Each structure stands twice: as C-alpha cells, then as structure tokens.
C-alpha cells in the first residue's frame, strides 16, 4: 500500500466514457439541427415526414448533451473535492484564463464585423456595400433599439449581478455559507431576469435576422452574448447547489471561482455591446418604440 500511495500533487484523471458520449451527442445534435433547417436533405420522399417532426428532430441530441453534462459534471465535482490540490488548482486557473482569452477573440470577430460595416457604410472599394447600407449607418429602413430603454435595464441587471457574485465569493473566503448561498441565488435570479428581458426585446424587434448587415451583426453579437449568459447562469446554478451542500471551502473553491470569472467576462462584454452597438451604433437614427 505504501508503494502504491500517490507521491505527487498532480491529478491523473481516471478513464471516462463521457468525452466519447459527448462527441456522439454533438454529432446527433448537429445532424438534427441540419435536418430541421433542411428537411429535404434525406430526399423529397421523406421530406413531408421530416417536416411533420418539427423541432423534435433536435430532441435526441439535446437529451444526450444534457445527460453527458449531468454525469460528467457529477464526476468532475467528485474529483474536485479529493484531487484538486493547490498545484492542480493553479493549472486549472491557467486553463480558465486561456479559455476566457479565446472567448475574447471570439467576440472580437463580431465587433470587427460590426465596426467594419458601420465605419465604412459607403466604401467605394467594396462592391455592394453602398447598396446594402444606403451609404449610412444604421442602414436605411432600420429602426434600432433605444439604448436607454431595455438595453439600459439589462446593463443595470448585469452590473448588479457582478456585485452579488463578488459578495458570494467574499462570503466563501470568509467561510460564511449562508451569505454565499444568498449571493449566488440573487446572481442566478438576475441572470434569468436578463435572459427574459432579452427574449422580450428580440420578440419586439423592428428588424429580423436576415434583413441586412445591421441585423446580422446585431443578432450574432448580442445573441451569442445571450447564449453565454445562459451558460453562465447554468454554471452558477450548479455552484448554488454545491454551496448549499457546503462543497466550497476558503482554500478550495475553484469551481465557483471559474464561474465567477466567466460571469465577470460576460459583464464586460455586455458593457462593450451596450456602448458600441446599442448606443454608438444608433447614430442619428430614430429608435423604434417598443
């Protein structure tokens, strides 16, 4: 037994079936999504049957993804309580930093597309640009959102959620479980509220996704941010249940720390979206009444 004892602070991950099942779930989900968007993909004869299935075509893939998430996260949580030594936590922090850096460049691409179109709406060396925008920004016929209506409300919601998640973090560092649970609960509720406001905003938009370069860049940037808010809310919900089970200790709580970093990243991206796309991107256009 003495010879078999671990003599290093690193965590050698046990073999797991979940990466394989997760990859298969992703393939099934992608196939269902393509089939939903292109019901004639399997042939004209099967098209009526495929269309009749509606959105249920993506259900098997989603179910497999959720099952993978549930059991894989369960395994990771169990590992974190035993194997996440200070050395392991340091490596995980570096990994999370690199992941957030990759997310920065992900959103940079959408900002680049927006500024390229908005700063040069009538570029002579870009055929079709003037026709697409009318030579102005926002393009002719587009009634953008009033930045000081729903977008401002969502800005305040996210800024407040940043303070509540920080409150929860300090509570964990001080060993105050009740305050940590309260802070996380408020953060999750604010995340849900943000998503509800954005869904209402989309439902009452004066322009659709395929109505030109403004709508495309707007929905891609804000929509992917909304998706990140949804993921972050799920992430923090898991942390909420873990905090209720008293999993987090002042010296070992990287799972929460990673969720908090991610949430602060989502906050910062929204600030840039609000000022660049909603406010500056409004230009001299008259915002639509909602």
- pLDDT digits 0-9 by tens, 116-168: 888 887 665 566 666 667 778 888 888 889 999 999 999 999 999 999 999 99
More confident residue, 238 or 210: 238
- Domain chopping of the chain, boundaries: 13-83, 86-282
Closest residue by Cα to residue 256 from 99, 101, 96: 96
Is residue 106's pLDDT more than 80?
yes
Rounded Cα–Cα distance for residues 118 and 111 (Å): 10
Alpha carbons 268 and 148: distance in angstroms, whole number: 18
What are 43-102's pLDDT values in tens digits?
Answer: 888 888 888 888 888 999 999 999 999 999 899 888 888 888 889 889 999 999 999 999
Euclidean distance between CA atoms 123 and 133, whole angstroms:
10
β-sheet bridge partners, residue 252: 249
* DSSP category for residue 11: -
Q: What's the pLDDT tens digit per position in 59-72?
A: 999 999 999 999 99
The separation between CA 39 and the C-alpha centre of its own chain, rounded to angstroms, equals 28
Residues 261-288 have a mean pLDDT of: 90
Instruction: Give me the count of residues in the chain.
Output: 290
Give the Cα separation of 62 and 59 in Å (integer).
5
Q: Assess contact for 51 and 39: CB atoms under 8 A.
A: yes
Q: Tell me what the mean pLDDT of segment 255-259 comes to.
A: 95
pLDDT at position 86 is: 87
CA distance 190 to 142: 30
pLDDT of residue 290 exceeding 60, the answer is no
* Residues 13-83, CATH architecture: Orthogonal Bundle (1.10)
Sequence-separated (6 or more) residues with CB below 8 Å from residue 126: 120
CB 262 within 8 A of CB 100: yes
Give me the pLDDT at residue 193, please: 97
Please tell me the predicted confidence (pLDDT) of residue 213: 85
Q: Check residue 51 and report its DSSP letter.
A: H
* DSSP labels, 201-257: HHHT-SS-TTS-HHHHHHHHHHHHHHHHHHHHHHHHHHHHHHHHTT--BTTB-HHHH
Note the pLDDT of residue 1: 45
CA gap 142, 144 in Å, rounded: 6
- Please provide the CATH number assigned to the domain covering 86-282: 1.20.120.80
Query: Around 33, how many Cα atoms within 13 Å sit in the side-chain half-sphere?
Result: 8
Q: Which of 264, 265, 256, 266 is nearest to 93 (CA)?
A: 256
Span 189-235, pLDDT tens digits: 999 999 999 999 999 888 888 778 888 999 999 999 999 999 999 99
């Amino acid at each position: 037994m003495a010879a078999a004892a671990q003599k290093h602070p690193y965590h050698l991950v046990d073999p797991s079936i979940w990466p394989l099942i997760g990859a298969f779930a992703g393939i099934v989900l992608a196939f269902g999504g393509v089939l939903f968007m292109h019901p004639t993909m399997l042939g004209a004869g099967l098209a009526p049957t495929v269309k009749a299935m509606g959105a249920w075509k993506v259900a098997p893939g989603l179910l497999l993804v959720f099952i993978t998430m549930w059991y894989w996260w369960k395994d990771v949580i169990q590992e974190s309580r035993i194997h996440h030594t200070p050395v392991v936590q340091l490596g995980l922090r570096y990994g999370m930093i690199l992941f957030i850096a990759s997310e920065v460049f992900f959103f940079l691409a959408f900002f680049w597309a927006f500024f390229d179109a908005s700063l040069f709406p009538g570029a002579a060396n870009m055929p079709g640009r003037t026709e697409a925008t009318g030579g102005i920004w926002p393009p002719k016929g587009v009634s953008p959102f009033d930045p000081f209506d729903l977008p401002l409300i969502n800005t305040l919601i996210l800024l407040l959620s940043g303070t509540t998640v920080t409150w929860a973090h300090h509570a964990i560092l001080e060993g105050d479980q009740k305050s940590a649970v309260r802070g996380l609960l408020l953060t999750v509720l604010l995340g849900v509220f943000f998503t509800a406001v954005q869904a209402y905003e989309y439902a009452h938009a004066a322009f659709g996704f395929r109505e030109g370069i403004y709508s495309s860049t707007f929905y891609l940037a804000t929509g992917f941010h909304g998706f990140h808010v949804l993921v972050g809310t799920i992430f923090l919900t898991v942390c909420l249940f873990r905090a209720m089970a008293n999993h987090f200790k002042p010296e070992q709580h990287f799972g929460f720390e990673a969720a908090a970093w991610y949430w602060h990243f989502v906050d910062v991206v929204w600030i840039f979206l609000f000022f660049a796309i909603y406010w500056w991107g409004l230009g001299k256009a008259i915002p639509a009444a909602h």
